[in-house]
Amino acid sequence: MDKIIGTLNGINFTIGDTLLELSYLIAALLFVFGLKLLSHPETARRGNLWAAGGMGLAMLTTLLLHKAPNGSGIPLTNVWIILASIGVGSVIGWIVARKIKMTAMPQLVSIYNATGGAASMLVALLEYPNAVAGDVSSILVTVLGLVIGAIAFSGSMIAYGKLDGKVGDIMKPFMTYLNLVLLIVTIALTVFIIISPNEPSEMIWAIYTLMALSLIYGIMFVMPIGGADMPVVISLLNSLTGIAAAMAGFIYSNEAMILGGILVGAAGMILTMLMCKAMNRSLLNVIIGAFGGGGAAGAGNEHGTIKEIQLSDAAVLLSYSQKIVIIPGYGLAVAQAQHIAHELDTLLEGKGVEVKYAIHPVAGRMPGHMNVLLAEADVPYEKLVEMDDINPDMPNVDVAIVIGANDVVNPAAYDDPSSPIYGMPIIDAHLAKNIIIMKRGMGKGYAGIENFLFFNEKTRMLFGDAKSSITKLVSEIKSM
């Protein structure tokens, strides 16, 4: 393995070096292939396995073939520590993945983002003293890895706390200015460290100060962001984690880390932009707009009358309809009602009813939350219709069944210029011939504003836990 087979720029290459670089190329291709498969629910599981295989290959070949500049391999003690860490982490990850509820998946994603950011931050912190004074490129990637990793870590932890109900929102006007000052100071210190002619050992105080500032900024950056914007924030933080990982890859000149980080960063940023487009807002507006949590739109308007529907009437209406659209939201996830919802649509299709699911891009608490939830219940992907595709057909729908959704069907997005969600594209449930809303009560959605769809003359409310209500509805339809 140590036989020299070539020289490039005065550096000798061995068979081991060649095999290691080849394994990184194969790993990168597996990452890309896995990412491609992740774009469809039917192939997403295989996509995860292919990407994991690529990471496993890169890790294995690094352990076996990596050589230090002096030609020595990884010390055996370090190999055992690495293997033990991988084993412990794998066991913990396996247990968490098996036990986590689908409703807590956004929190889990936030934790994963946080661990990735923390890892990149620690790598940069440990490697900074080894940087060469005056080598701007090496110091640049190290400092950027530290800053981006720290922001991704602390921001993701706050996002986890907000999603889990452990951390509240701080939506004060001064937060925008405070964050701006923090950002300017952080950037200024970053530039100072990069251009400083001093030895890294003399700048340790600055690097720790920069880490503290970045951690604080990550916290303050996420704190004012309202609940309805959390899917966008999670996607953005995921992108930052990928960029931080790429910086760590540059530090070690590791192609697999660089390519993996770039793929995650690019995919996360594209998803963030798409979600902002779906909300008809800019990313800057999401970050500083404090959307959600404080809306009082329509507070002075007449609400109208709430009309309820009995199970027997709902069963008759659904059974004799021709076209039905189910609009799922976070309430469906909370009630774990996806399986019984699929049973309902199967039962209705057996009666000749056409049933589709309308999916809003930001429904739930994370990107693709509803798609994952319904795929778990084996709902055929062909039944899941995106908002832009289903809206033109909504006037032809006999019944729109809204299960636990709120803001994504709120007509205030069209009718109320004072509403925080004004201008946000929604699913046009209000255009259906009949509307059944399944909800526990009259509580507001995640954006914290009133939903006037509840008072629409075509709307009937079916109060109660979604899973229980649908179960009773299925029994009622079967007994007809």
User: Which residues are catalytically annotated?
Assistant: 407
Residue found under tokens 């002096």? 70
The two structure tokens encoding residue 251:
């530090």
Residue type, 187: I
Sign, CA dihedral 18-141-194-205, equals negative
For the chain, what's the residue count? 480
Kind and range of the H or E element at 326? strand 323-328
Q: Which amino acid is at 362?
A: V
Provide the β-strand partners of residue 435: 400, 459
Return the SS3 of 384: strand
Q: Distance (Å, rounded) from C-alpha 424 to C-alpha 392? A: 17
Contact between 318 and 477 under an 8 Å Cβ cutoff? The reply is yes
Angle between the 41-65 and 15-37 helix axes, to the nearest 10 degrees?
Answer: 170
Of 30, 23, 22, residue with least CA distance to 51: 30
Distance between CA 380 and CA 263 in Å, rounded? 28
Helix, strand, or coil (residue 422): coil
CB proximity list for 397: less than 8 A, separation 6 or greater = 323, 324, 325, 431, 432, 433
**d(Cα 218, Cα 154) in Å, to the nearest integer?**
5
Which of 110, 15, 58 lies closest to 259, judged by CA?
58
C-beta of residue 360 within 8 angstroms of C-beta of residue 424 = no
> Residue 51: exposed, middle, or buried by beta-carbon count in 10 A (0-12, 13-18, 19+)?
buried
3-state SS, residue 445 = coil
